[in-house]
Structure 1
Amino acid sequence: MAVKLETDLYPPVKAFFANRGYEVKAEVRGCDLVAVRPGEDEPVIVEMKKTFTLPLLLQGVDRQRTGADVWLAVERNRTKKGAHNQRFAELSALCGRLGLGFMTVTFFKTKEPVIEVWREPGPGARAYALRGGPGSARAGASAAAGEAGAEAAVRVAEEAFAAGYAASAGGRKRAGAKPLLKEFAGRSGDYNVGGSLRRKLVTAYRERAIQCALALACRGALAPRDIRALTGCPNPGSVLRDNHYSWFRKRGRGVYELTREGEAALREFGEVASVWAAKFEWAADWLAARASGSAAAETGAAAERK
């Protein structure tokens, strides 16, 4: 069966990496899916599309600038026989030459989706070797060509490039992945869906704004230093002053209060606010009130259905 939305790919792909021991979050700095193993600093990026397209391929190559291992994920639609996006063996070979991982997701009406891994991400050694690669690879290839022919030359070139790649990959990954890892760590959970369009995303910045709004909702007007003491939010002053979402207004010198937009935001992002409220003793009453309100809403909805 064909999926209607790109977001349908996210749950099975997320489950795949969760089963590999990764923590997974969606829509991190524009990436559909980012996965990180606890205690490690080497992220994995997955870009998803319903079909394999050139923009998807270019997007995957661009994501490699972060130093992360990059995968491309598309649907395997069994009804589109002969279509160009079904030539998965060839597409897999292309991804391999570029160092990209490649997987497909097949959906069924009566059973869980099935993921097929066609290619794990890697250095793309053959592509670099055939373009000339590092000088050591060219030299090794030339020597082997004189002895054992072209196939041995390519093999030596691949090995030489792979060795050089492995020696420098660690430094590149740590440097390029810092902004990605910072945003990943700044989120308390996975509240987005990979592949979403025209939706308000829960970013690390929005979570800091939610913490500030929660403190103001529970304690009334406060100074930034008071909010920092209550929540541990590292920079509440800039969040309140910048006021990107119109959630706050200045009540007096150095003191801020919550606006109606801020109150509505706490309801709109209630799941996130509840996660933070559960960490703060001073927010227990707010959390209980929200839980009671949710239960009442559910009861009312059930009565209407009857």
Structure 2
Amino acid sequence: MLKKLKESDLYLPIKLFLNKQGYEVKGEIKQCDIVAKKDDEIIIIELKLTLNITLLLQSIDRFTLADIVYIAIPKQTPMYKTKSKQIKKLVARLGLGLIVVDIQEKQQYVEVISDPKEYQPRKNKRKQSALLKEFSLRQGDTQKGGSTTKKAGLTAYRQRCIRVAEYLSKTDTASGAKIKKAIDEQQATQFLYSNYYEWFDKIGRGTYKLSDKGKAELPEWQLKIKATTS
């Protein structure tokens, strides 16, 4: 069974690893956990038993002393075991390198996961397209940043459903095709069929009316729309 780890347990494995690559290595130089030097190249490595904001802030500060900065954590760190992909992205985004040390009873293994480099995240075109679509379709600035509850969201989708509900509130019953033509809502039939907010009741083939829930909630949402556009 492994003893309880200390940050200093990471030092010797990393020092030996760097020595083999021709670096001179010293510990605790001007509050830096590890400083390695080879010719004109300087590397600073900060050691921690877990990834936390303190480690990241310390590491970022080290860029005032050297261009190459790594953070080093045990491979056994619970957060790394469960969120390694996110950690790699975060570290890369900050321009840092990442080293993990696999601490075994008789042997320690050092692995350089990533070297410091300028990070340019790859865009997810599908998600970006959805973001821009919601941005362009939503009328006004309808929701405060930070409010995440389902009921709080006056999204573009909800705004379009409100238009369908408003039409039904005036005509009692209608088909999706009729609503589509009347208010120029291309997805009217889909909104009625999906009935995400439970605002619509199907009363016949392709024919709907406003549900009791829709009648009760529609005035509230109409007021919210008015508040955001006035």
**Structure 2 length as normaliser, TM-score?**
0.49
Task: Name the structure with the higher helix share.
Answer: 1
Specify which structure has the higher proportion of strand.
Answer: 2
Higher relative contact order (CA 8 A, sep 6+): 1
Rg (Cα) greater in structure: 2
